[in-house]
């Protein structure tokens, strides 16, 4: 999996920061270092187009908005695979296939 080029969305960075801070998994400096690293990857900001695309995916596949928005970000990045344990394994959503890496 690590040989694959991947990207992140603004939503992903925000969720990571929230969980890392809440769970106190690491010192603040370590969390900051991860945010800097993740910010160097191909990036999709949370903008109007992101929100609209997320809503379209949510409506089309009857998903929760936040899951759908992440799929929309993956599609915008041109990613063929979205790794998640929250969606149906191997289901294709538009041009993106959801893969549960824990199966």
Check pLDDT > 90 for residue 31. no
pLDDT interval class at 39 (50, 70, 90)? confident
CA distance 20 to 5: 23
- Single pTM value for the model: 0.84
Domain boundaries, the chain: 8-99
- Predicted confidence (pLDDT) at residue 4 exceeds the cutoff of 80: no
pLDDT at res. 3? 57
Q: Does pLDDT of 78 surpass 60? A: yes
Burial of 90 (0-12, 13-18, 19+ CB in 10 A): exposed
In terms of pLDDT, which residue wins out, 23 or 16?
16
Q: Which pLDDT value is given to residue 73?
A: 95
Report the pLDDT averaged over residues 72-96. 95
């Amino acid at each position: 999996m690590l040989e694959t080029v991947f990207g992140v969305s603004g939503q992903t960075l925000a969720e990571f920061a929230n969980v890392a801070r809440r769970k106190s998994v690491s010192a603040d400096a370590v969390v900051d270092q991860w945010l800097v690293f993740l910010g160097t990857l191909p990036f999709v900001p949370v903008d109007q187009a992101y929100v609209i695309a997320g809503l379209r995916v949510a409506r089309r596949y009857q998903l929760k908005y936040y899951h759908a928005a992440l799929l929309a970000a993956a599609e915008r990045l041109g990613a063929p695979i979205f790794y998640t344990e929250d969606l149906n394994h191997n289901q294709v959503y538009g041009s993106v296939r959801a893969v549960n890496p824990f199966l």
